[in-house]
Amino acid sequence: QMSECLFFEGLPMPSILTNVETLCFAREEFLVRDDDVIIVSYPRSGTHWIIEILNLIHVNGDPTWIQTVPVFLRSPWIEDAHLQKDLINRNGPRLMVSHLPVQLFPRSYFNCNAKVVYILRNPKDIITSLYHVSRGFVCKKQPENFDEFLNRFIKGDVHYGSWFDHTLGWIKKRDMGSFLLIFYEELQRDPRGSVEKICQFLGKKLKPEEIDLVIRNSSFSAMKENKMSDHFAMDGRMQKVIIAPMLRKGVSGDWKNHFTVAQSEDFDKLFQEKMSRLDPGLFPWF
C-alpha cells in the first residue's frame, strides 16, 4: 500500500500535488482554450525534457527564462492544487502540463482545438526511473526490491495508475484534434529532427542557430545544472518528501541493469498482449 496517495475513481493519485476537489474541477469545469498547448505524459517519460524544449522554443532558445523561473511556474500542472487557479486566470496562449489519464482529463479539451504533445518512453525505462524515485521518498513506504516494484507497476498500483491504460487511452484519441506523439528515444536519437517537428506542430519558425540554442539549453547536462529545472528541489511540497533528483541518468536502456532475463521476457509478453491492438512498428524500442 502506498502512503502519500489518495484514490480518485479507483486510481492512486499523489496527494503531495493534488486533491479530490482539484481533480473534480480539472475534469468537469476546467476550460481548455483553442490556443492552449498541453504536454501530457505518464510519469517519468521525459515530461520535464519536453517542457524545457517547449519553453525554449517559446523564447527562441534564450535560456534567461528557464534559468530564472521554476519549471512548474513556467508551465503549471492542470491537476496541481496550488496552481490550478493561477492557470484559470492566465492569459493565453497557455502552456500547461498533465499526467492525467484520458478519462480524468478536462472534458472541454475534447471539443476544442488545443494542441496536445504526448510523450512516450519505453515502459521498462519508466519502471527503472520510477523505482529510483520511489526509493528517494522520505516517508513513503519504499519498495522492498525491484521485483516487488515491478509487480506493483504491472498491477497499476502506482501514481496515475497503469501505464498500459494511460498509453492506450491516449493513443486511441490521437486522431481527434491536434495531437503530436513524441518518443523519448527519438528525442535522444535525433534531437534536431524532433525539435523541428515540434516547431512545425506549434506553427513556430525558428532559425537554425535558434534551434541549436534550444537543443543545447535542454540537454541533460544543461538541465542538471539548472536548479530551476528540478521540480522536486524547487517545490516546497516536494522538497519535504523526495530526496531523489528529478534528473537521474537520462539514458535509454538502463532497464538492462535492473531486469533479469525472465522479468524482461515476461514483461515483453505482457506488453504484446496488452498492446496487441496497436501496430508494433509504432514503438521505437523494438
Residues catalogued as catalytic: 99
State the cell numbers at 135.
Answer: 526509493
Q: Which is nearer to ligand PPS, 204 or 249 (CB)?
A: 249
Question: Applying CB under 6 A, which of residues 12, 46, 63, 76 lies at the interface with ligand PPS?
Answer: 46
For residue 91, the minimal CB distance to ligand PPS (Å) is: 25
**CA distances from residue 203 to 57, 63, 199 in whole angstroms, order as listed:** 11, 21, 6
Q: Does 45 bind ligand PPS (CB under 6 A)?
A: yes
Which positions from 13 to 42 touch ligand PPS by CB under 6 A, shown as an x/- string? ----------------------------x-
Convert 34-64 into a string of H (helix), E (strand) and C (coil).
CCCEEEEECCCCCHHHHHHHHHHHHCCCCCH
User: Footprint of ligand PPS on residues 81-100 (CB under 6 A)?
Assistant: none
The DSSP 8-state label assigned to residue 142 in this structure reads P
Q: Does 122 bind ligand PPS (CB under 6 A)?
A: no
For residue 214, the minimal CB distance to ligand PPS (Å) is: 11
User: Footprint of ligand PPS on residues 203-242 (CB under 6 A)?
Assistant: 218-220, 223
Residue range at the interface with ligand PPS (CB under 6 A); choices 55-63, 136-144, 243-251, 257-265: 243-251
The verdict on whether omega for the bond into residue 191 sits within 30 degrees of 0, i.e. cis, is no
Secondary-structure percent of the chain, ordered helix, strand, coil, rounded to 5: 50, 10, 40
Q: Which is nearer to ligand PPS, 106 or 191 (CB)?
A: 191
How far apart, in whole angstroms, are the C-alpha atoms of residue 246 and residue 182?
20
Q: Does 197 bind ligand PPS (CB under 6 A)?
A: no
Q: Does 136 bind ligand PPS (CB under 6 A)?
A: no
Residues 121 and 45 sit within 8 Å (Cβ to Cβ): yes
How far apart, in whole angstroms, are the C-alpha atoms of residue 178 and residue 196?
17
Interface residues with ligand PPS (CB under 6 A) are 41, 43-49, 125, 129, 132, 218-220, 223, 247-250, 254
